Amino acid sequence: MENFVIPQTKYTPQIELSFRDRFLRIIGDSYPENAMEVYQPLITKLEKYFSDPVQELQIELNFDFVSTSSKKMLTDIIGILQTYHESGHKIELVWYFPDGDEDWQEQCEMFLEDASFNYRITPFKD
Amino acid sequence: MSSYFDVHAIYRLMHDNHIQFSYKGPITQEVLISLGETIKEKLHRDDCDAKVVRRVFSVLVEAAHNILKYSTEKTYLDESNKATGIGLIGIGKTEANLFLVFSGNIVSPEEAKAVEEKLVYINNLSREDLNKNYQQQLKQGTITADGSAGLGLFEVARKSDRPMEYCFSPLEDGNVFFELKIYVKVED
């Protein structure tokens, strides 16, 4: 399976899902008019990724600015990952937030409140 | 040459109200990016805290997306056949420690009613209940095909330090002019 890569733009993040190296990385700003268009293809790829009985995935998320419709999509993605975790896949996630921004820290905690896979919320220094 | 259009008056009005910039026209994603970059650059240059820059930017983006989607005044800019809403948006610094983000656009009477109900509801929430409502909408709400998650005004309220100020003015054609003013504190 080939890697899935969507390059970064000024208002959408770089999204990279590596089937070979088993990682998902999303980095950048995210405030498109329609977040569904940006994240739905990733959700479809994740379905394919987890079609193997037991998969591992290392996830790294690092955003600066995210609009509400993107936050909604990210919440849904976290929920989907939780479902995969409950069905036996191994998921580890690191969420980097801008150092010193407690809005972001609080937001990350909200995103991951119901997650029972391994995760860390870590300040990121530029 | 005489003209009713008084540019100087607009300039003075903006200057006297400490408006840093304002834009009226189709709120495309490109316009939003350049407004966003301008404001980010300016605030960083003024040594504004990065968290505050993100708050101001957040309010700007949600206000812009509301215009883009809900303004009844629309224009078709490209071949994608997708309409872009027209409106007014801007940022000012009305007091030393307060940013103002404002927007104005025309909406249908039905939309005006729905938005007003939501504004009244959100403005009456305590900070704690606001966060609870936001979180609930984030988790249990649905996102429509055009990317609306119903979260915009909740987010705007979370980033502002005063109740959201708004005004609905009926227009002759039956539509309504909707204006929104949001204040973001410079420091905690």
Domains and CATH numbers, chain B: 7-185 (3.30.565.10)
The domains of chain A, with CATH numbers, are 4-124 (3.30.750)
CA distance A15 to A28: 9
Measured between alpha carbons, how far is B176 from B2 in angstroms, rounded to an integer? 31
**Residue whose token pair is 């330090």:** B161
A4-6 and A14-18 beta bridge pairing: antiparallel
Instruction: Decide if pLDDT at B108 tops 70.
Output: yes
Amino acid at B114: A
B47: left (phi over 0), alpha (psi -120 to 50) or beta: left
The string of pLDDT tens digits covering residues B77-107 is: 776 677 889 999 999 998 888 999 999 999 9
Confidence at residue B115, expressed as pLDDT on a 0 to 100 scale: 95
- pLDDT(B1) > 60: no
Comparing CB atoms, the residue among B138, B148, B159 nearest residue A71 is B138
Which chain B residues are Cβ-neighbours of A110 within 8 angstroms? 135, 138
Cβ neighbours of residue A118 closer than 8 Å, sequence gap 6 or more:
A91, A92, A93
Within 8 A by CB and 6+ apart from B51, the residues are: A98, A100, A101, A102, A103, A104
Amino acid identity, position A89: H
Q: Amino acid identity, residue B97?
A: N
Phi, psi of B38 (to 5 degrees): -60, -45
Could you tell me if B61 lies within 8 Å of chain A, comparing CB atoms?
yes
Q: Which tokens is A40 given?
A: 């739905």
**Nearest by CB: A103 against B33, B54, B65:** B54
Beta bridge partners of A122: A96
Residue holding tokens 């994608």?
Answer: B80
Q: Taking the alpha carbons of B17, B19, B24, B29 in that order, is the dihedral positive or negative?
A: negative
Quick check: A69 and B21 in contact, CB under 8 A? Answer: no
Only one residue has tokens 């909406």, namely: B107
pLDDT score recorded for residue B79: 67
Q: Which residues, 6+ apart, have CB-to-CB distance to A25 below 8 Å?
A: A14, A15, A16, A59, A60, A61, A62
Candidates A37, A67, A77: best to mutate against B (most CBs of B within 10 A) is: A67
Report the first-to-last Cα separation within chain A, whole angstroms. Answer: 34
The phi and psi torsions of B62 (rounded to 5 degrees) equal: -65, -40
* pLDDT per residue of chain A (126 residues) written in tens, 0 to 9: 679 999 999 999 999 999 999 999 999 999 998 899 999 999 999 999 999 888 899 999 999 999 999 999 999 999 999 999 999 999 999 999 999 999 999 999 999 999 999 999 999 987
Question: How far apart are the CA of B49 and the nearest CA of chain A, in angstroms?
Answer: 9
Q: Is B101 helix (H, G, I), strand (E, B) or coil?
A: strand
Round to whole Å and give the CA distance between B158 and B164: 10
Q: Is A69 exposed, middle or buried (0-12, 13-18, 19+ CB in 10 A)?
A: buried
The b-or-e profile of A82-94 (16+ CB within 10 A means b, else e) is bebbeeebebebb
**A5: closest CA of chain B, how far (Å):** 22
Which among B15, B186, B183, B176 has a CA at the least distance from the CA of B87?
A: B176
Beta-sheet pairing, A56-66 with A14-18: unpaired
A74: closest CA of chain B, how far (Å): 9
Give the mean pLDDT of B134-148: 87
Selected for mutation to probe chain B from A10, A33, A65, A102 (highest B CB count within 10 Å) is A33
Judging contacts by C-beta atoms under 8 Å, the chain A residues touching residue B33 are 10-11
pTM above threshold 0.95:
no
Question: pLDDT category, B2, cuts 50, 70, 90?
Answer: low
Taking CA atoms, what residue in A is nearest to B138?
A72
Residue B59: pLDDT over 60 = yes
pLDDT of residue B69: 87
Is B54 within 8 Å of A101 when comparing Cβ atoms?
A: yes
Find, among B174, B9, B61, the residue nearest to A69 by Cα. B61
Quote the pLDDT of residue A84.
96
